[in-house]
Amino acid sequence: MMQHFVNEPVDALAIYRRGAPHPLLCTFRWKDQRYDVKETHLVHRKNTGETIHRIYSVDCDQRTCVLRLDADRAQWTLESMELLS
Q: Give the residues across from 55 on adjacent strands.
A: 44, 68
pLDDT for the residue numbered 30: 96
The Cα–Cα gap between 6 and 23 comes to 22
How far, in Å, are 1, 50, 61, 67 from residue 10 at the CA level? 23, 23, 16, 9
Q: What is the pTM of this model?
A: 0.90
- Amino acid 13: pLDDT: 97
pLDDT tens sequence across 28-74: 999 999 999 999 999 999 998 888 999 999 999 889 999 999 988 99
**Torsion sign, CA atoms 61, 65, 70, 75:** negative
Q: Is the pLDDT confidence value at 1 over 70? A: no
CB-count exposure of residue 5 (10 Å: 0-12, 13-18, 19+): exposed
Alpha-carbon separation of residue 84 from 1, 17, 36 (angstroms): 6, 30, 15
Taking the C-alpha atoms of residue 17 and residue 64, their distance in angstroms, rounded to an integer, is 24
pLDDT number for residue 2: 78
- Segments making up each domain of the chain, as ranges: 3-83
